[in-house]
Structure 1
Amino acid sequence: MNLPNTITDIDFNFPNQTNVYKGKVRQVYSINDDLLVMVASDRLSAFDVVMPRGIPYKGQILNQIATQMMQATEDLVPNWLLASPDPNVAIGYQCEPFKVEMVIRGYMSGHAAREYKAGRRVLCGVPMPDGMKENDKFPEPIITPATKAEMGDHDEDISREDIISRGIVSEHDYEILEKYTRDLYKRGSQLAKKRGLILVDTKYEFGKTKDGKIVLIDEIHTPDSSRYFYAEGYQERQDKNEPQKQLSKEFVRQWLISHDFQGLEGQTLPEMDDDYILSVSERYIELYEKITGKEFEKSDTSDIKNRIESNVQDWFEANFM
């Protein structure tokens, strides 16, 4: 079996490059300390661990969903994006990121459900009602922030009060982040509903431009940052205490759990063979088509690095030279 090429260890040197930051999935290049070139790799992260093998087309899928969702929400919340000159690349304004991820949950799933099952009724300082079961809808969406981890570290839950008292974000700015988070989640839920989906939970990241404007950065409403359920049959499955049919990378987490891996010390990463890698790629393509309503067009993977360099160079020449 010949799998398409993937891009995992990215090492670019763009013109006027001043800095580079390597995240779990994306690599971000500063240009003239003014613009950012964000390259979405094919790396797969789960339980805050980067898997050793890339997933074909994953970076393209995440970048193209995020780009389309940025464009679909820019009337609500300003964002950093200028252009996407390559399937794996987004270019935008350099920002100072806030050191928190704004997680919003409309349903009691994932991490919230695990905490609830453990008997906890407060998450990030936010109370969760008694008498709920996994995947039930919250009376109102709750915001449960997390501190931004460096690569390889675990994000940590944190309350609104701690964020403000520790000076991580000022109260004034945090109120804006909360408003933007609720507005984006409402729009994301409306977009999902049109596709027969429920936006269960998601996270947003924000930064501040050099002129002090708060903008949305990074990815938005992708299967890596969000959890979706199929709307059809949702209530019936809840009534029968059955698992929900979902669109997210939870299927990867469940596969890892079934192979005794949850990112804990002493655990060994299971090997992903070609068949499994291909099945994950196909699942991501399915996610793209379901979330966007568009047919996925596979990019040329014969020489991804050269393709990206050429497309980025052409964009800069057309816009800044």
Structure 2
Amino acid sequence: MNTLTHFDSPQLPLLHRGKVRDSLRAPVGERLIIVTDRLSAFDSVLETAIPHKGAVLNGLANFWFAKTAHIILNHVIKLVDANAMLVKEAEPIRVEMVVRNYLTGSMLRGYQAGQRTFSGVAVPDGLTKHQQFAEPIVTPTTKEESDREITPENLVREGWVNQELYDQMTVKSLALFKAGSELLAEKGIILVDTKYEFGLLNGELILIDEMHTPDSSRFWSAEDYAQNPETAEQMDKEYIRQWLIAHKKDDQYPRALTPEVAQEASRRYLDIYERIVGEALPTTDSEDVRARLLANLSAAGLLKAANEELKTL
């Protein structure tokens, strides 16, 4: 199975290469986001790419953006390929709005160590692993080289956002989380926690980046959770994190996955896509991902002479 590890084009200037996404300048000023098959874990991009991963993330983000456009406008113009999305150029807000509805992950580890306040939100004593909160909470972080837990008051004090904008982001984040939780509940999936990113377009708050994907969210099987909350099946990239933890040596995580782990990870990404969207991802193992991408970019008028580019990439 071939994978898409990066994308470059002399016709489309590279704006930013993130851990998973490559952002390029489109011909008339928009931004072209290429979602690659790179995989990031523990703040590091692994050497092993995961087949279909980029298409899963891109397709799920597009699905959720369409489902929530009545709550808040987003940056999507159109999906131009399974791995590519043309979006409006917004000014990103360097804050991640993390919404949590269960005690798990890093918050659980902090709680077990005695921490009771998270990003300014106080939680009570006596909570158990994976216990649901009385209501979802918002625990923002800064978007820096290493994301930093921060209170809303300090976000405003340090100049990341003003109070009015933060309040608006909070309201929208909770509304998005509610909508996502309700839709996923119908499919037997619990939206455990997630993060949202926002930007400003002509002074108006819009939703950007991705939402409710296996990379940005934690999912559990509702059936498993009902049987035993502490061992509920996690339906996201936690499978890969746990493999890396199990194979850590000399305080270093592996830089690459085995073929078997990569294949299983791909299967899990495809499975969560199908469970959420209700149909299989429209890609195949045999297709040349880069050739398909170039052809679709050309058909969308974003590239000229795609065949010549294919020879050089």
So what's the TM-score if we normalise by structure 2? Answer: 0.91
Partner of residue 255, structure 1: 243
* Paired AA for residue 156 in structure 2: I
Structure 1 residue 298 displacement after superposition: 2.1
Instruction: Give a deviation string over 1:161-195, Cα, whole Å, max 9, x none.
Output: 11111011111111111111011000000111111
Deviates more, 1:197-206 or 1:270-279: 270-279
Partner of residue 145, structure 1: 140
Equivalent-residue separation in structure 2 for 1:87 and 1:43 (angstroms)? 15
Q: Does residue 113 of structure 1 match 2:108?
A: yes
1:64 to 45, 53, 59: 59
The 8 Å contact of residues 39 and 90 in structure 1, kept in 2 or not, is answered as yes
Structure 1 residue 32 displacement after superposition: 5.2
The 8 Å contact of residues 26 and 302 in structure 2, kept in 1 or not, is answered as no
Query: RMSD between aligned alpha carbons?
Result: 1.9
SS across alignment from 1:223: coil
Instruction: Give a deviation string over 1:136-156, Cα, whole Å, max 9, x none.
Output: 00111111111113xxx4322
- Cα–Cα, structure 1 residues 311 and 270, in superposed 2: closer, same or farther, change >3 Å? closer
Aligned length: 303
Q: Does residue 97 of structure 1 match 2:92?
A: yes
Q: Does residue 195 of structure 1 match 2:180?
A: no
The 8 Å contact of residues 244 and 253 in structure 2, kept in 1 or not, is answered as no
Structure 1 residue 110 displacement after superposition: 0.9
Structure 1 residue 244 displacement after superposition: 1.2
- What is the percent sequence identity of the aligned residues? 37
1:232 to 215, 223, 241: 223
Equivalent-residue separation in structure 1 for 2:153 and 2:9 (angstroms)? 40
Q: Does residue 282 of structure 1 match 2:282?
A: no
Matches within 5 A, 1:8-157: 8-14=5-11, 17-31=12-26, 34-149=29-144, 153-157=145-149
Deviates more, 1:267-276 or 1:77-86: 267-276
Equivalent-residue separation in structure 2 for 1:5 and 1:219 (angstroms)? 24
Equivalent-residue separation in structure 1 for 2:217 and 2:284 (angstroms)? 24
For structure 2, list consecutive stretches of 5 or more residues without a partner in the other structure.
304-313
Instruction: Give a deviation string over 1:196-226, Cα, whole Å, max 9, x none.
Output: 11100000111111x1111100111001101
Partner of residue 168, structure 1: 160
List structure 1 runs of 4+ shifted beyond 6 angstroms: none
Equivalent-residue separation in structure 2 for 1:300 and 1:245 (angstroms)? 27
SS across alignment from 1:63: helix
Structure 1 residue 50 displacement after superposition: 0.6
Structure 1 residue 233 displacement after superposition: 4.0
The 8 Å contact of residues 82 and 91 in structure 1, kept in 2 or not, is answered as yes
1:222 to 203, 207, 213: 213
The 8 Å contact of residues 199 and 227 in structure 1, kept in 2 or not, is answered as yes
SS across alignment from 1:289: helix
Equivalent-residue separation in structure 1 for 2:290 and 2:227 (angstroms)? 47
The 8 Å contact of residues 147 and 157 in structure 1, kept in 2 or not, is answered as yes
Equivalent-residue separation in structure 2 for 1:300 and 1:317 (angstroms)? 25
Partner of residue 280, structure 2: 295
- Cα–Cα, structure 1 residues 273 and 233, in superposed 2: closer, same or farther, change >3 Å? closer
SS across alignment from 2:231: coil
The 8 Å contact of residues 6 and 22 in structure 2, kept in 1 or not, is answered as no
Q: Does residue 206 of structure 1 match 2:198?
A: yes
The 8 Å contact of residues 18 and 33 in structure 1, kept in 2 or not, is answered as no
Deviates more, 1:33-42 or 1:211-220: 33-42
So what's the TM-score if we normalise by structure 1? Answer: 0.89
Partner of residue 183, structure 1: 175
* Paired AA for residue 294 in structure 1: E
The 8 Å contact of residues 195 and 293 in structure 1, kept in 2 or not, is answered as no
Instruction: Give a deviation string over 1:247-285, Cα, whole Å, max 9, x none.
Output: 111111111111127xxx952425412122111111111
Partner of residue 309, structure 2: none
- Cα–Cα, structure 1 residues 148 and 33, in superposed 2: closer, same or farther, change >3 Å? farther
Partner of residue 311, structure 1: 296
Structure 1 residue 302 displacement after superposition: 4.1
